Chain A
Amino acid sequence: MEQVFKKPEALCDVNLHYCPGCTHGIVHRLVAEVLDELEIEGKAIGVAPVGCSVFAYDYWKCDMQQAAHGRAPAVATGIKRVLPDKVVFTYQGDGDLASIGTAETVHAAMRGENITIIFINNAIYGMTGGQMAPTTLPGQVTQTSPYGRDPKTQGYPIRMSEMLSKTDGAAYIERVSVDCVKNVVAAKKAIKKAFQTQLDGKGFSMVEVLSTCPTNWGKSPVEALEWLRENMIPYYPLGVYTDKTGE
C-alpha cells in the first residue's frame, strides 16, 4: 500500500494550539503542502501576525518573522525589498488585515508588492475572546455587538477581496472557504496559484479564506461549518476577484 496522505514536510511536527475544530489548522496544512509542492520551503519567509495565529512562526519550517498587529504587509514589504528572490507571505486574520492593518493591506496591494497574503476571515476576533470584527455579519452577536451588529451604528462588514480587486497592483485575489472537502481542495489550488503568482513576479496576491471559530461562535465544529456555509458564503461570495496572471 502506498501512502496517499500525510503531514506535509514544511509543517513542523508540533501540536497546533488552536481550539478543536478550528479551521486555521486546515489552512496551515494547505500552505505547508504548497510550500512542499512548489519546493519553496527553503526560500520562503513567513510573517506571523497578532491574532489567534500569533504562534504561526512555530508551525512552518521556513524562516518566520513576527509583525505587530496589522503591520504584516509592511513587514513583508521590508523583507521582500531586501530579498526580492525569496518568497514572502503573511498569514493574517480579519481584525489584523481588515481593521487595524487596512492601510498596510491596501497600499501593499496598490504597490503591487510581490508578496502573498493568506487572509483568514472568520467574522470575529478570536484571540481577544469574540469581539466584533470588521467582517462580522449584520445581526451577528458578539461580545461587543451584544444586540447583533447593526450597520446603522456599527457599520457594514468589509469585503476585502472585492475592494482589493479594484486596485491596479493586485495580480491575483480569490475568496475560498474550508467548510467542506470540495472547498478545501479549491482553497489549496488558490493558495498554490497565489504563491505561483509571486514566483512569477506578477505582483500582489491574496487568498481570503472563510474560516470558522467554533468557540467564539458558540457552535460545535460541525455546526460551525454549517453556519459558515449558510451565513458567510452568501455575504462573502466565493470566487476569483481578480486574476491578471495571464496577462
Chain B
Amino acid sequence: MAKVVFNEEKCKGCYLCMTACPKKIITVAKDRMNAKGFRPVEVLEMDKCIGCAMCATMCPDCVIEVFR
C-alpha cells in the first residue's frame, strides 16, 4: 500500500515527475488548472503506486508527499 499526494497549487506543470515514475501512472489533469494557470498532475490508478518517491525526488517545487 502506497500513495502520493500532490499539492496542486504548488505544481508548475513541468512534468519531471512523470518521466521519473517507474510505473508511468502520473498523468496531466485534463479537467482543471491551478491558480497559477498550470494543469497539475494526478494519479488515477493509485493502487499501482509503489511509494518509491522517485516523482518527489525530481520535483523542483516540493509538490509531492509520499506515503507507504
Interface residues on B, range: 20 to 34
Residues of A within 8 A of B26 (CB): none
Q: B53 near A26 (CB under 8 angstroms)?
A: no
Residue of B16, B58, B67 near A1 (CB, 8 A) is B67
> Min CB distance, A182 to chain B, in Å?
9
> Mask for B3-28, Cβ within 8 A of A = 1, else 0?
10000001011111001100000000
**Total number of A-B contacts with CB less than 8 angstroms?**
73
A20 and B66 in contact, given A1-B1, A5-B53 (Cβ under 8 angstroms): no
Residues of A within 8 A of B51 (CB): 4
Q: B19 near A3 (CB under 8 angstroms)?
A: no
Q: A4 near B68 (CB under 8 angstroms)?
A: yes
CA distance in complex: A184, B19 (Å): 14
Residues of A within 8 A of B38 (CB): 20
Residue of B14, B20, B68 near A20 (CB, 8 A) is B14
B7 closest partner in A (C-beta): A7
**Please, how many residues of chain A have a CB less than 8 angstroms from a CB on the other chain?**
28
Residues of B within 8 A of A21 (CB): 12, 14-16, 60
> Is A181 in the interface zone, CB < 8 Å from B?
yes
CA distance in complex: A11, B10 (Å): 14
CA distance in complex: A184, B54 (Å): 10
> Min CB distance, A219 to chain B, in Å?
12
Q: Which of B16-68 contact A (CB under 8 A)?
A: 16, 19-20, 38, 51, 53-54, 56-62, 64-68
Residue of B16, B54, B60 near A222 (CB, 8 A) is B16
CA distance in complex: A222, B14 (Å): 8
A11 closest partner in B (C-beta): B62
B9 closest partner in A (C-beta): A15
A24 and B15 in contact, given A3-B67, A4-B66 (Cβ under 8 angstroms): no
Q: A29 near B20 (CB under 8 angstroms)?
A: no
A20 and B13 in contact, given A5-B65, A7-B62 (Cβ under 8 angstroms): yes
B12 closest partner in A (C-beta): A20
Name the residue in B16, B57, B65, B68 with the highest tally of chain A Cβ atoms < 10 Å from its Cβ: B16
> Min CB distance, A39 to chain B, in Å?
20
Name the residue in B56, B57, B68 with the highest tally of chain A Cβ atoms < 10 Å from its Cβ: B57
> Is A221 in the interface zone, CB < 8 Å from B?
yes
Q: A225 near B19 (CB under 8 angstroms)?
A: yes
Which 4 pairs show the lowest CB-CB distances between chains A and B? Answer: A25-B60, A21-B14, A20-B12, A5-B66
Write the residues of chain A forming the contact surface with B, with a CB cutoff of 8 angstroms. 1-7, 11, 15-16, 18-26, 29, 180-181, 184-185, 214, 221-222, 225
Enumerate 5 A-B pairs (CB-CB under 8 Å) in ascending A order.
A1-B68, A4-B53, A5-B65, A24-B60, A225-B19
